[in-house]
Amino acid sequence: MGKRLTAIATRTGDAGSTGLGDGTRVAKDDLRVAAMGDIDELNSSLGLLLATGVHPVDGADALLRAVQQDLFDLGGELSIPGYSLLKAERVLALDQALADWNATLPRLQEFIMPGGSLPGAQAHVCRTVARRAERAVVALAAREAVGAACLQYLNRLSDLLFVLARMLNRGVAEQQWRHDAGDAPDPER
């Protein structure tokens, strides 16, 4: 791994480039940097979800804290081309939690609208940020080699966050998508 930051305001990026973990410099709009930024945003969004409270769901707090660690590994892997940090068994851990939590939920009959409780709504935000991060990593993978576990992990994580949102919204009526909502009369008229 590269050196740890000891000074935050290094001024080395003032001209629009940034250093990767292997010491090379790339433009700040490089696909690799964009993917790393989306992973960082996802980790911050998960921090907010943890702050809003996921304690009603057994194991959610510990799992999300482990996910935050995994995302640092994923970001580290992306910061050093050709380096591998994220382990395949971490994908299996998400698969297991996904199966456990999903088994307790009623089957969906229709798409649901994001929202509900504050923690549930934040889990939906995290899900969409995870999907964006996944798209960024897929775009990078089309140009350069990216570990398969990275792509699998992000795909599984977004699914898990959807299921977690539903778990956090237990007791709150899930608002279903109404495909004919545009034809409904305006309640203000």
Kindly report the pTM of this predicted structure.
Answer: 0.85
- The residues spanned by each domain of the chain are 25-102+113-170
Report the pLDDT averaged over residues 36-59.
Answer: 94
- What's the rounded Cα separation, in Å, for the pair 97 and 46? 16
Report the C-alpha gap between 26 and 105 in whole angstroms. Answer: 45
Q: pLDDT band for position 188 (50/70/90)?
A: low
Instruction: Considering only residues 130 and 28, tell me which one the structure prediction assigns the higher pLDDT.
Output: 130
127 Cβ neighbours under 8 A, 6+ residues apart:
158, 161, 162, 165
Tokens 């433009």, residue? 27
Q: What is the pLDDT at residue 17? A: 85
For the domain 25-102+113-170, what is the CATH superfamily, name and number? Cobalamin adenosyltransferase-like (1.20.1200.10)
* Least confident residue range of 67-71, 77-81, 106-110, 162-166: 106-110
pLDDT at 141: 95
b/e sequence 106-136, b meaning 16+ C-beta within 10 Å: eeeeeebebebbebbbbbbbbbebbbbbbeb
Band of residue 56 on the pLDDT scale cut at 50, 70, 90 = confident
In this prediction, residue 4 has a pLDDT band, given cuts at 50, 70 and 90, of: low
Cα–Cα dist 41/56, whole Å: 24
How far apart are alpha carbons 79 and 31 in whole angstroms? Answer: 11
Q: Which of 39, 38, 15 is nearest to 27 (CA)?
A: 15
Residue 117, SS3 per DSSP = coil
Question: pLDDT tens digits for 87-119?
Answer: 999 999 999 999 999 999 988 877 888 889 999
